[in-house]
Amino acid sequence: MSAVLECPICLRWIDWDGTPPVVFGPDDRPEILRKDPREDDVAWRTRLQTAYRPCSGVGSPDSHYLPYDYADYKAVIIGVFGESRSGKSHLVAAMISRLCANDAALRRLGLTVEPLDLRTHQQYMSRTVEPFIRGRRRLDPTQPLPVVFTDALKVTNRDGDAFAVSFFDVAGEQLERSDPEVRFFGSVNALLFVIDPDSIPGLTQPAATAIGDSTFEEALKRLGGRPAPGRQFLHLPAALVVAKADLLRYSFDLVGEWMSRSGPAEETDLSTAEQESEDVYAFLVERRAEPWLRPAEKCYRSTLHFASATNVSATESTYGDGFGQRRVLKPLLALFAMAGVLDDEPMRRVEGGEDAT
C-alpha cells in the first residue's frame, strides 16, 4: 500500500494512511467513520468496505472521495474523449454493462469484475446503464458538471492481480474548451477516443464539414505535457472506436463485415484486434479522415475498432427492434491488454504471425 497517492481527479497528493475514512449520511454529507471500541475487526472491515478517503478536508467543497481500498490496487484510469454527441456515454455504458456481466467469455479470459466504489457503481447502473440497456432509452446528454469517476470497478485477472479501473466520461463541451476543472489528463493511463461517423464528411451526413475532433486535439495537447521518455509518442495506450458503426454497415462492406462478427467469442478474441485496427485505419484514410487518426499516430500503442452501442438508430427517445451492443467490449479489452490488466500476448502473437507471413 502506498503511503502517498495522487487524487486522479484533482491531482493533489493524499496522505493515504493518515486520512480518516468517511461515510456518507442520508443527505450525502461526509462523516468521519470511527471505530467503536467494542467493535471487532471483522465488523470494522465490513464497515470500511463502504468507506472513502477524501483527497482534501472532510466536507471541503474541493474534496474528492476515493474508495477506501483504492490504493490497494493498481489504477487503470480511462479517459474517454470525443465531441458532444459523438456517442461516448452510450459506448461507455455499453462497455461497462458488458464488463459487469461477468459472462463466460470474460471468465475464459480470466477476468473477474466487481464494483470498486459500490455507491458510485450502483448510481451509475441505476441511472444510466439500466435505463439504456434494459429500458432501451436514449441517454440524456452529459452535463458539464463536476469531473468525477463515471464508474469505478475492481478488475481481477487470471493471475489474481487486481486493478482499480475507473472511467472519466465528461461532456464533450468540457473537453473541447480547455476547462481548467478537467484535470484528469494528468492521471489517465489509458485513452479511449470515440470517433463520430456523423462528423466525418461523406460518411453518414452529406452536410458534415468537420475537419477533425477538437477534443482529440485538446487531449493530445494536454497529455503531451506529461514527462515521457521520448517526445515523439505518448506513452499511453489508446483505443480509437468508430462509434455508431451500425450507420455504416450497409454503406461500406468493410464495416458490415466487421459488424457482422459481433458474438461474445469474437469480442473477447484479441487476436483480431490488429487486423481490425488496420482496416479501420485504412477506412478512415480512404475517406480523408486522417485528423481523427491523430491519437493513433501519437500514442505509442493503439488499436482501432468499429463498434455500436445500440445497433439501431433511436426513434425519438427509445431504441426499437434490433437494439443491441455490437463489438463494444473489444476496444476495452484491447485497452486492458495494452495497460497490463490482461495478457497482451494474443495481440502480440497475431502481430508476430502476420509479420511471419
Partner 1 sequence: MRLDQIFYTWSERSLLGGKGMGPVASSLPIDALSGWDPLLRERVWAGWQEHDRFGLGYLRGPDGHAVICKRPVTEAEGRQASLAHILVGHEINALQALSLHEWDGWLTSWDGTAELAPLSWEDLRHQADKGRHDLVRRARALPPATLAELVAFVLAAPEADVSVVAPPEAPAELLCALVEIMGATTTFSTMESRDDDRGCPHIVFLPEHHESRMGVARRRLRFGGDGGDPFATALAVSYRAEGRTAIDRLRPARPVASVDDSRAWAQKAQLSPGVLDDVAGLLRRAQALSAAELGALRSKHGLAEARRIVPTMDDGELAALLRATALPEEVTELVQGVALRSYLTGHAGERVLEGLAVRPPSAQLLREALKQDPSLRRVAALAGRVLPEPRARRALVDSVARTMSKAELIGWVHEHSAEEPEAARVALNVICDGRERSSEQRRRALDALIARGGLAEAAARLTGSPREATAYLQSVLSVVAGEKIDEGVMAAFLAHPRPSAQLLYALRALARDSRSLALVDRTAWTQFFVQAGLPTPLGARPVATQARAQPRSTEQARPGPSDDLPAPKAERILLVLLFMGVIALLAVVAVVATSGGPL
Single-letter amino acid, residue 291? P
What is the DSSP code string of 156-169?
E-TT--EEEEEEEE
Residues near 110 by beta carbon (within 8 Å), at least 6 away in sequence: 157, 158, 159, 342
Question: Ramachandran region of residue 85, left (φ > 0), alpha (ψ -120 to 50) or beta?
Answer: left
Of the candidates 18, 37, 61, 160, which one interacts with partner 1 according to CB under 8 A?
A: 61
CB of residue 351 vs partner 1: minimum separation in angstroms? 36
From residue 319 to residue 338, the character string flagging contacts with partner 1 as x (rule: CB under 8 A) and all else as - is --------------------
Which region, judged by CB under 8 A, interacts with partner 1, from 83-91, 101-109, 282-290, 294-302? 83-91
φ/ψ (deg, to 5) at 332? -70, -40
Task: Specify which residues 239 forms β-bridges with.
Answer: 192, 303
Q: Which is nearer to partner 1, 144 or 331 (CB)?
A: 144
Residue 268 to residues 19, 194, 221, 315: CA-CA distances in angstroms?
40, 20, 32, 30
Q: Specify the amino acid at residue 124.
A: Y
Number of residues located near partner 1, criterion CB under 8 A: 39
**Which stretch in 10-18, 56-64, 288-296, 336-344 sits in contact with partner 1 by CB under 8 A?**
56-64
> Nearest 10 degrees: CA dihedral of 279, 282, 284, 287?
-130
In sequence order, the β-bridge partners of residue 196 are none
Q: Is 122 one of the binding residues for partner 1 (CB under 8 A)?
A: no
Compose the 159-188 pattern: x for residues touching partner 1 by CB under 8 A, - for all others.
Answer: ------------xxx--xx-----------
Q: Report the residue number, 2 or 60, with the smaller CB distance to partner 1.
A: 60
Q: Does 59 bind partner 1 (CB under 8 A)?
A: yes
Of 82, 347, 19, nearest to 210 (Cα)? 82
Q: Which is nearer to partner 1, 172 or 237 (CB)?
A: 172
Beta-sheet pairing, 162-169 with 74-81? parallel
The region of 40-48, 59-67, 294-302, 340-348 touching partner 1 under the rule CB under 8 A is 59-67
Establish if 202 lies at the interface with partner 1 (CB under 8 A): no
Choice between 144 and 237, CB closer to partner 1? 144
Asked if 83 touches partner 1 (CB under 8 A), the answer is: yes
Does 257 bind partner 1 (CB under 8 A)? Our answer is no
Task: Round to whole Å and give the CA distance between 344 and 347.
Answer: 6
Site for partner 1 in 208-237 (CB under 8 A): 214
**What secondary structure does DSSP assign to 285-317, as a single string?**
HHTT-GGGGHHHHHEEEEEEEE-BSSSS-EETT
Smaller CB distance to partner 1: residue 82 or 346? 82
First to last CA, the chain: 46
Strand pairing of 13-15 and 4-6?
A: antiparallel
**What distance in Å separates the CA atoms of residue 5 and residue 334, rounded to the nearest whole number?**
27
Residue (108 or 127) nearer to partner 1, CB: 127
Q: Which stretch binds partner 1 (CB under 8 A): 9-17, 137-145, 240-248, 250-258?
A: 137-145
The reply to whether 140 sits near partner 1 by the rule CB under 8 A is yes
Strand partners, 6: 13
Q: How far is the CB of 220 from partner 1 (least distance, A)?
A: 17
Is 87 among the residues that bind partner 1 (CB under 8 A)? Answer: no
Applying CB under 8 A, the residues found at the interface with partner 1 are 24, 27-30, 52, 54, 59-65, 83-85, 119-120, 123, 127, 138, 140-141, 143-146, 148, 171-173, 176-177, 214, 314-317
